[in-house]
Amino acid sequence: MLNRGFFERPSMEVAIDLGLRELKFSKSGNLHVPEETKSVLITRTVPYGIESGYEPKRTKADQIKKSVLGGLQAPGCIDMYFTPYGLVLAIATGKEGKFSEVSINAGIPVAGFDPEDLGKLIDGPIKLTNALGIDQEVAKMFDRRPIYDNPMIGISDEKLPGNYGFNPKMISKDALGIFSFMKA
């Protein structure tokens, strides 16, 4: 599984390198037991951060808004943020204290799913967390904790060969664009 050093780079680099890696989740904490683990191949990532000149918004008391605090954590720490529609999985990158993170926005099931779902795209960050079985209880356990050295969630060291496309679409003011990946 990936280590902290992998995430100690700018969000654009990490977003590219996360593509076509296997994201594993096991609610029981047994990532190496296939029948207890769900795995997806990461097919879309979105980098966020100060690389485009974005500065996190502040409150009237000059405190950084809570909604971006996850992106200020130590590299490799999970930022499970809640939207009105569901949960999004993001991981802090770069340097602690500098807003930078990558969200995982789509994947292809490769293990632990019903046979008819294997190979079908899970399109959207909320659909992805739902399909993996990450609920609010689990999200609270993950939030602000490293993805590396975590018995419930991890990303493989191995990356499949493939290509990626970059869309500079700004899905939010702090998003740097969207990376979509295809196997070779």
Is residue 23 a contact partner of residue 64, using CB atoms and an 8 Å limit? no
Give Cα separations from 109 to 41, 106, 115, 132, 165 (angstroms).
6, 10, 10, 9, 20
Q: How many CB atoms lie within 10 A of CB 123?
A: 13
Supply the pLDDT for residue 143.
Answer: 87
Supply the pLDDT for residue 173.
Answer: 78
Which residue, 132, 157, 146, is CA-closest to 76? 146
State which amino acid sits at residue 51.
E
Torsion over CA: 112, 115, 117, 119 (sign): positive
Instruction: Spell out the domains of the chain, with CATH numbers in brackets.
Output: 4-55+64-183 (3.10.300.10)
Supply the pLDDT for residue 49.
Answer: 86
pLDDT along the chain (184 residues), means of 10: 95 97 95 93 93 73 75 93 89 93 96 94 96 94 92 95 90 87 92
The whole model's pTM is what? 0.92
